[in-house]
Chain A
Amino acid sequence: MIELQSLTKIYDGVTVVDDVSLTINSGEIATIVGTSGSGKTTLLRMINRLVQPSSGRILIDGEETSSIPAYELRRRIGYAIQGHGLFPHRSVGRNIGTVPRLLGWKQARIAARVDELLDLFGLEPGEFRDRMPHELSGGQQQRVGVARALAAGPNILLMDEPFGALDPIIRAKAQDDLLAIQRRIGTTIVLVTHDMNEAISLGHNIAVMDQGRLLQFAPPADIIARPGTPFVEALIGSEDRPFRMLALQRVRDLIEKGPASGPAIDAWANARAAYAELLWSGREAAPVQEGGAPVGRITRAALQSQAEKPV
């Protein structure tokens, strides 16, 4: 559990983070969105003390972070820096092995861990292990940056726009991978992003920041349905609202009995994708299958009711 209590950061008289308090439960993902310069990176870096708060406290599992040496704290917290920040003079393998080496792991264990992570991020170890960072594409560099943050299996992961340089397809895959990793190891993640869709699809809670202040910290459905301020509402975008609501649901929860024709939709697909499919194929309903077996149908009406503003 990460507790931020009245965190404030002032640079030369300018308040860039203004009295922010929030709590992130263990094993959950909090996403931070906001315009450029709203203080997202500064807030994130106060958690691993790369930035010293002007006032306020940070507790991790009830323990105040200022009570342990900064370098020890940071070795326990994975950090994927904005724009990757790989060490240009070290190979991909040595970059990823940075924290394990600092923690004094055995060579063999580090090597195995590096290969495991490269595999996980779709980078063939034999091909990429010994490359230098400048021999990678921007997207590959970012993935190595995230792999480096995960190397020592930290309980907490801070990620600053980790998928910014990825194309939509790889980005979707990277997000899925991150969710899978997160579910498997139960890491607590704080992720900064510019992309509202990413914030909604990854976050258990979303923190919306503007000019250093935390405007709202709530689950995606609440943020969409009950934006706390006009700024949050603008950030969601009024024309996208219904579809964002849909995107939060799985087809599986909206199945009903009855006939339907045409190609089946997977029960685990999200409701927005199903609605798009129905609109595009001109159908009122489509069969739903789970694990290849038919389990019922999904209708436009059912989907539309989910897209309405909740009361």
Chain B
Amino acid sequence: MSARPSLFSRLPDKLGVLIAALVAVGTMLPLALLRANRIVPGEALPIWQALPAFQAGILIVALLICVIASIWLRVPGLRLGGAIGGVAILLVLMGQAGGYLTPAGNDLARVSPAAGFWLLLFALSLTVTDALAKMKLRPIWRILGVLLAGVGLLLLLGSGQWDDLSVLREYQVRSAAFWREAERHLLLAFGSLSAAVLIGVPLGVACFRVPRLKSAVLNLLNIVQTVPSIAVFGLLIAPLAWIAATIPGAARIGVSGIGAAPAMVALFAYSLLPVVSNTVIGLENVPGRIRDAAFGMGMTRRQAFMAVEVPLAFPVILTGIRIVLVQNIGLATIAGLIGGGGFGVFVFQGMGQTATDLILLGALPTVILATASAVLLDAVVEISESSATRTMRA
């Protein structure tokens, strides 16, 4: 056994073993699904049937390298590089499978990623997240990473690699609608967030100043937060989903009297609690001795508020905004149900037509947007609290 320090650890990494198991199962499961058209059941194909022999070989070798790296490789940077390489190869070859499996000149046949692809993607992403967590990257690098991942995704889609896959087939026939709904989705998420910040932060400050107001407002918002999950979801969504499922096209024309405005109101109501309560908590967490120092130096109420309380509460308020943004990007999907537009339109149309590809066309961008904003805002929160709160908590 070699005595010098090596890149490899002698003991297998526990998470690495789990990932290896996932990859092994993922390799066995079908990589792609080939169907004669978008709604009939299809034929599930494993890697060696979904790809030409040479490319199948590349994919299997790449996966093997990733498994070995995640079990024995000790340096997180190398594990990260390996896993990112694995993801890239998997994504590109998935696109290749699309071209390979689609019969020439057949516009109806659909090739879509199957269970094996998703499991492999999940396993590799797990390696990426684990390596990133171990590397404890500075926020600025995390922001850069998200931007790079975005560029990578654009390159993949722009290069036409995935054009033969079912999700993009769905996109190609409704690209105008896709961008319209994308714009609507962002408008819903960010619009309701802005309104919640504009109203919630001042309301939070008022609650902090007036304890009686605080308990009243927070109780009310807590009720708002829970009622819709029972009432709106139960009373509104179920029948609307039923209509969308039974009457084709019903969701698309929209139910009269329901649209973007009520969706906006609902999202806004959901957003208020995190913004208000984080504002209150942020201000309450400013240590008494620091507030005393501010007044003791001769600051007026206003000066102490602007120069001391706001900067020290800012990271906590920002955390509230992060919660709301991620939550709203997800919740805005529901707007599709009540004619409010957004990516939810595709999800519910897809559910109505049992067209999985269409559901994915709505769900994937939502998930990607939510994940990206979570990582970005976490990084910004960390930057904002760097020096301010470290001593405060100590």
> Which A residues are closer than 8 A to B by beta carbons?
48, 50, 70-76, 79, 81-83, 85-89, 98-99, 102, 132-134, 148
Contact = CB atoms under 8 A, between A and B. Distances in A.
A300 B80 CA distance: 79
B13 to A, nearest CB: 35
Interface in B261-307: 289-290, 292-300, 303, 307
Contacts of A132: 387, 391
B394 interface: yes
A72 B299 CA distance: 9
Contacts of B307: 87
A50 B297 contact: no
List 6 tightest A-B contacts by C-beta distance, closest first: A75-B298, A85-B293, A134-B391, A74-B298, A89-B388, A88-B391
B299 A81 contact: no
Given A99-B298, A133-B391, A88 B312 contact: yes
Contacts of A81: 289, 292-293, 296
B297 to A, nearest CB: 5
A169 to B, nearest CB: 26
Contact of B387 (A72, A73, A89): A89
B296 A48 contact: yes
A98 B290 CA distance: 13
A98 B391 CA distance: 19
A79 B296 contact: yes
B392 interface: yes
B299 A71 contact: yes
A27 B291 CA distance: 29
A88 B390 contact: yes
Contacts of B390: 88, 134
Nearest to A73: B298
Contacts of B375: none
Nearest to B393: A88
B99 interface: no
B387 A134 contact: yes
Nearest to A88: B391
B243 interface: no
Nearest to B390: A134
Contact of A82 (B289, B294, B299, B387): B289
Contacts of A82: 289
Contacts, number: 68
Contacts of A102: 297-299, 303
Interface in B336-394: 387-392, 394
Contacts of A87: 290, 293-294, 307-308
Contacts of A98: 297, 299
B296 A72 contact: no
Contacts of B294: 87
A74 B388 CA distance: 25
B198 to A, nearest CB: 24
Contacts of A88: 290, 312, 387-392
8 contacts: A74-B296, A74-B297, A74-B298, A79-B296, A87-B294, A98-B299, A99-B297, A134-B391
B139 interface: no
B311 interface: yes
B318 to A, nearest CB: 14
A132 B387 CA distance: 7
Given A99-B298, A102-B298, A102-B303, A86 B293 contact: yes
A167 B312 CA distance: 31
A71 B300 contact: yes
Nearest to B294: A87
A51 to B, nearest CB: 10
Contacts of B391: 88, 132-134
A72 B292 contact: no
Contacts of A74: 295-298
B148 to A, nearest CB: 31
A136 B260 CA distance: 54
Contact of B296 (A50, A89, A133): A50
Nearest to A99: B297
Nearest to A75: B298
A152 to B, nearest CB: 9
A47 B154 CA distance: 66
B43 to A, nearest CB: 62
Contacts of A79: 293, 296-297
A70 B293 CA distance: 14
Given A88-B388, A89-B387, A133-B391, A50 B295 contact: yes
A83 B312 CA distance: 18
A82 B296 CA distance: 12
Given A50-B296, A88-B390, 11 more contacts: A71-B298, A72-B298, A81-B292, A82-B289, A86-B293, A88-B392, A89-B387, A99-B298, A134-B391, A134-B394, A148-B297
Interface string B152-193: 000000000000000000000000000000000000000000
Nearest to B293: A85
B22 to A, nearest CB: 43
B326 to A, nearest CB: 26
B390 to A, nearest CB: 6
Contacts of A85: 289-290, 292-293, 296
Contacts of A48: 296
B289 to A, nearest CB: 4
A89 B313 CA distance: 11
A119 to B, nearest CB: 21
A70 B303 CA distance: 14
Given A71-B299, A88-B388, A50 B289 contact: no
